[in-house]
Amino acid sequence: AAEILVARGRQATGTIQELPAHRWYAVQAGNSGAPGRAWIRAQWDLESDPVRRLDLLVAGSQEKGPDVAAFHERVFDSPRASDVERLLAADFYARSVPAAAAAPVLKRAALGIETPELRRAMHCLLWRFYGPER
C-alpha cells in the first residue's frame, strides 16, 4: 500500500485537502503500518527533492523504536539533508529517545545546522528538552 500511495504522490500535482499532493499521499502511506513506514524511510535515501524528503521524513516517523531513531540519526549524518530536515528529525528524535541517549546525539546534530535561524531553533529545541528545568 505504501509503495502505491507514494508512487501516486510522485506523479500527482496540485493539492488535496489543502496539502500538496505528494504530502497528502505520503501521510496516507504512513498509515500503512510498520512495514510500510520502514519502506518509506528507505525511500528517503532515494529521493532527490528536499521537499518530498520532508514529506517522507514525517510519514516514516509516525512510530517510535530503534529503527526510527536510527533513521533520524541517518538524516543527521547525511550530507544531502537540509537544515530543515535535520531540525525536524531532531524534534522527532527528542520526543522518542530517552534523554540520556538523545542529548549527545542531538548536540552533535546541532553542529551540522548552518542556517542561523534554524541553528537558533535547534538550540531552542535543546533547551526545551534538556534545559535546567528538566
DSSP state of 12: -
Spell out, as residue ranges, where the chain has pLDDT lower than 70.
133-134
What is the predicted pLDDT for the residue at 124?
Answer: 95
What is the predicted pLDDT for the residue at 130?
Answer: 83
Q: Which residues does residue 20 pair with via DSSP β-bridges, in sequence order?
A: 15
- Taking alpha carbons only, the member of 81, 76, 77, 78 closest to residue 125 is 76
What is the predicted pLDDT for the residue at 115?
Answer: 97
What is the predicted pLDDT for the residue at 131?
Answer: 76
What is the predicted pLDDT for the residue at 23?
Answer: 96
Q: What is the pTM of this model?
A: 0.92
What is the predicted pLDDT for the residue at 95?
Answer: 94
41-48: long-range contacts, CB 8 A cutoff, minimum separation 24: 41/67, 41/68, 41/71, 43/6, 44/71, 44/74, 44/75, 45/74
What is the predicted pLDDT for the residue at 126?
Answer: 93
